[in-house]
Copies of this chain bind each other. A is one copy, B any other.
Amino acid sequence: MAYEELKLERQLCFKIYALHRQLMAAYRPLLDELGVTYPQYITLLYLWEHEEATVGQLCSALGLDTGTVSPLLKRMEANGLVSKRRLVSDERTVQVSLTERGRILEEEARSIPSYMATCLFGGDEADAETLATVLDRTIRQVSETRKR
């Protein structure tokens, strides 16, 4: 059982952890130009697609909890990327929407995905497909196991 040893290089989890940090480092120079962090970037990805969202929708779409998202949105609001308002129909829920500045950033972000695709695979689409498939299956597997 190769992956059941207490050795660092064998640990699949460590590889994912390492890759995650490599990816963040690869994104950083690109996102610095936009003046956002990675979690802010994926928040924008969601909003570019849906125009607006409640805090709860963002939390579940991004898989983050309110303790992370709430101050993140506060910083994004301070930077003029999004605006927040409470719903009249339910004063508890907060609607987040893009500002003009937040919308404009989408244009500047257009080149990022293709750059990152190259960075990840050097253009090898087959590898991308394989990794995507296995990742999806693994994510599902882990979240299933965690429910019990």
**Interface positions of A from 1 to 45, Cβ below 8 Å from B:** 1, 3-8, 11-23, 25-27, 38, 42, 45
Stretch at the interface among A72-80, A85-93, A94-102, A128-136: A128-136
Copies, count: 2
Give complex CA distance A64, B20 in Å. Answer: 12
Q: Which of A38, A119, A138, A145 has the largest number of chain B CB atoms within 10 A? A: A138
Q: Is the CB of B26 within 8 A of A117?
A: no
Give complex CA distance A59, B30 in Å. Answer: 25
Q: Is the CB of B19 within 8 A of A113?
A: no
Give complex CA distance A131, B135 in Å. Answer: 8
Query: What are 12 A-B residue pairs whose CB atoms fall within 8 Å in the complex?
Result: A3-B113, A4-B114, A6-B48, A13-B23, A14-B42, A15-B136, A17-B20, A26-B142, A119-B145, A120-B138, A122-B145, A127-B134
